[in-house]
Amino acid sequence: MAADLNSYFNEKFGIEGKDIRTYSPLTLAYIGDAIFDVIIRSVLVNKGNTAVNNLHKRASSVVKAGTQAAFVKAIMDDLTEEEADYYRRGRNSKPHTKAKNATTMDYLDATGFEAVMGFLYLTDNMDRACELVNLGIEKLGLDILS
């Protein structure tokens, strides 16, 4: 079921699926940020019960613009042509907010990464989203899986 999470929600709430090409890159980044957060939090929680404060610290160290920018740079050569296109669209969008704790370039790269995650989620490709997150974790040497 994980690969069809968006379709599952659409079915449960009586929503007809939309053409992904009609979504703005910022809309894709909006949902993609949440999906990335859910993936990281799920990995942490499923590794075993621990203090919520520790979970939050570990998740927050990964789910932030600087780390998302590093993720996308690490996996750039592994993106399909279509994924790279969604990344570029997200990165080149004009966000209406400013980066709080990141450089402007990191914020834009992170927005591109989030757009890819949103694209994969909305096209029912959570397997690929998880594959890319796992690849980024491995390439960056993050200790989230240990």
pLDDT tens-digit readout, 13-30: 999 988 888 999 999 999
**CA gap 101, 122 in Å, rounded:** 28
* Position 94 pLDDT exceeds 60: yes
Please report which helix (H) or strand (E) contains residue 86, including its range: helix 81-91
**CA gap 92, 68 in Å, rounded:** 16
Mean pLDDT, to the nearest integer, of 102-129?
95
78 band by pLDDT with thresholds 50, 70 and 90? very high
Catalytic residue list contains 19: no
Residue among 33, 78, 85, 106 flagged as catalytic: 33
Give the amino acid at 127: D
